[in-house]
Amino acid sequence: MHDLLSGAGRLLEGAVDVRRRIHSNPELGLDLPATQQLVLEELDAIGLRGRTGVRCSSVVAQLEGPSNGPSTLLRADMDALEMPEDTGLPYASKVEGRMHACGHDAHVAMLLGAARLLVEHRDRLPGRVVFMFQPGEEGHDGARTMLDEGLLEDHGPFDQAFALHISSLLPSGWLACRPGPMLASADEFHITVTGRGGHASMPHDAVDPLPAACEIVTALQSMVTRRVPAFDPAVVTVSTIHGGTATNVIPERVVLGGTIRAVSDRSRDLVLAAAAEVASHIAAAHHCEASFDLEPHSYPVTVNDDAMAARVMSVAGALVGSERAVVMPSPVMGAEDWSYVLRRTPGAMAFLGAAPPGIAQPAPNHSNRFVIDEEAMSVGIAMYAAMALSSPRASASPRASTSPGASTSPGASTSPGASTSPGASTSPRASA
């Protein structure tokens, strides 16, 4: 572990440069041509051949060790957010209305650093490692797209899958994980309440959808507290209300929008059904109609495999010390499309703390003022590499071929808490 940390420290300057180049040129969704090209060039520089996706700007590369052993999937997401940046950094976004405010630029830089580190330690690699550079995490189903394009069929099966997510609210260099639910599901909904428009001075001649819509908002909150078990929580937030054009006009319809989060499939299904029921019945009581519609891009609960979470904590403790490797007391209500991978292969996600020094209240992920301590990236590089070098099963039969560099199989292209001190709560806040 000391060798990995020292090696990661040696690679930190290059990783910071990569991160800043990506940060200054943020790209959105599934189409990230510049980021994809940068990843391909960096992989090529260390002798790894990257394969690109068809429906998205993904990159997959593979490194084989000298013996047959476990197969490890390591993932970094690459996309930015559609939001302004107000950090004032010299390498701030050059694209108006786009920002890497969730740390994906650091994820890419750390995984590239880990690939370089693993090439250096290839003789110690107990099996093979696949590097997954994924676009479209921020609500665009990037992980599911890569799975649909054959990630597991072409490169799996995997004995373990691991992802890191950086957090500006955890102490720099700390690692946090937990077994079971790690992040919530995410479902975006819209409720359209339809009545009959008319003159605002004569509401009796109209059917006003606004009072019905307002009642639906408050009733959804009561529904959560009355219908959802307290120890299997869910969150329903109505974050947009659109209706009306003038003060003297009763509109025909009002549209509510929001998000539903849950940490189990049971609560998720319960809330989705109950929300639709509440909207329909309250609208009917006001002589209106209501439709409840879900957006197609929704993420299931991110559930860490128990054995994998234990392995993550063991490796993290050996890497940074047990006092900086902490078990999260509860899930985070943010969401991740890494959840799709974890539903098909044993794996886990961990948070890497990167609270910037000298800032009492760091801006959280998804803030326009989000900054990180780049020194923490050396821990991330080492942690990625350490997970690949830690064996979930014993096997050491020699490979038929031990040529250095990348090894990619032929086939189809492949393409979701406060700052803590020791002893305090260690749950980072929502990430997606």
- Cα Rg of the chain, angstroms: 24
- What is the rounded CA–CA span in Å between residue 218 and residue 238? 9
The highest-level CATH class for domain 2-182+301-398 is alpha beta
Q: 281 pairs with which residues across the strands?
A: none
Give tens-digit pLDDT for 309-353.
999 999 999 999 999 999 999 999 999 999 999 999 999 999 999
Give this prediction's pTM.
0.87
- What is the rounded CA–CA span in Å between residue 95 and residue 83? 10
Is the pLDDT score of 77 beyond 90?
yes
Q: Are 370 and 364 in contact (CB under 8 A)?
A: yes
Domain ranges (residues) in the chain: 2-182+301-398, 185-294
Chosen CATH of 185-294 out of 3.50.50.60, 3.30.70.360, 3.40.630.40, 1.10.10.10: 3.30.70.360
What residues have CB less than 8 Å from 62, skipping those under 6 apart? 48, 128, 129, 130, 131, 155, 406, 407, 408, 409
| Dihedral in degrees, nearest 10, Cα atoms 221, 226, 229, 233 | 10
- Collapsing DSSP states into helix, strand and coil, what is residue 136? coil
Give tens-digit pLDDT for 28-39.
999 999 999 999
**Neighbour count for residue 276 (Cβ, 10 Å):** 17
Closest CA to 430 of 333, 304, 301: 333
Give tens-digit pLDDT for 141-177.
999 999 999 999 999 899 999 999 999 999 999 999 9
Name residue 37's amino acid.
Answer: Q
Ranges assigned E (strand) in 246-315? 249-250, 253-262, 289-294, 302-304
Task: Please report which confidence band the pLDDT of residue 400 belongs to, taking 50, 70 and 90 as the band edges.
Answer: very low
Q: Are 175 and 320 in contact (CB under 8 A)?
A: yes
Is the pLDDT score of 204 beyond 90?
yes
Output the furthest CA–CA distance in the chain (Å, rounded): 85
Is the pLDDT score of 402 beyond 70?
no
